[in-house]
A and B are shown apart, each in its own frame.
Chain A
């Protein structure tokens, strides 16, 4: 099976702009989780989607949002970008929305905000 894919891989934006990132899970996986990775804060959970519904949300401002489509592909959106949003954004997929399921990560989208 093909692994988790993310597009784009690299992105440069300026403060105040918005950005949309895309994640395609492993075929058959219905849960998609998003994480932000920075040198200072490490890997932090953003949100999780299962069957087009947000199941869980991390401690991030409302500028961060997401959605999931009927084919399980997911997008996340960040509005009014700030310098501190520069990070590697990783998505992970698993078959079900269950804590005991293994999550498989995509290669990430590296976002640089200038």
Chain B
């Protein structure tokens, strides 16, 4: 089955810095790659996603890049703010509505 590796497990940055989280997947048939943000005690919320026919997608301070050949995708957050502090999960999907998640990255943005 699909396997998704996510790095780093924790990331501490200063407010205003950029943050990058990387994921690799194993199944070349995966065609959808969402990123979810989960604050403490809350549900995962989709922040951005990318489909396999696109190499890059940007939404304000957040961007995702996908390299299908290398089977990896990354989340880039620019101009980080304290409210960006949360756990971020990458995921990969193929076939049905089934997400395989990475283990998560705890992002801490210090003022």
- Do A33 and B98 touch (CB < 8 A)? yes
Residue B68 at the A interface, CB < 8 A? no
- Do A98 and B96 touch (CB < 8 A)? yes
- Do A102 and B46 touch (CB < 8 A)? yes
Interface residues of A in 47-98 (CB under 8 A from B): 48, 50, 55-56, 58-59, 90, 92, 94, 96-98
Contact size range, B: 20 to 34
What are the residues of chain B within 8 A of A99 when measuring CB–CB? 30-32, 93-98
Determine the distance from Cα of A56 to Cα of B99 in the docked complex, in whole angstroms. Answer: 11
Given contacts A90-B43, A107-B43, A108-B43, contact A102 B98 (CB under 8 A): no
Contact size range, A: 20 to 34
Q: How far is the CB of A74 from chain B (nearest CB, A)?
A: 12
- Do B99 and A33 touch (CB < 8 A)? yes
Residue A22 at the B interface, CB < 8 A? no
Residue B78 at the A interface, CB < 8 A? no
Looking at B89, B95, B98, B101, the one whose CB has the most chain A CB atoms below 10 A away is B98
What are the residues of chain A within 8 A of B30 when measuring CB–CB? 99
> Chain B: residues with CB nearer than 8 A to chain A?
1, 30-32, 34, 36, 42-46, 49, 51, 89, 91, 93-104
> Chain A: residues with CB nearer than 8 A to chain B?
31, 33, 35, 42-45, 48, 50, 55-56, 58-59, 90, 92, 94, 96-108
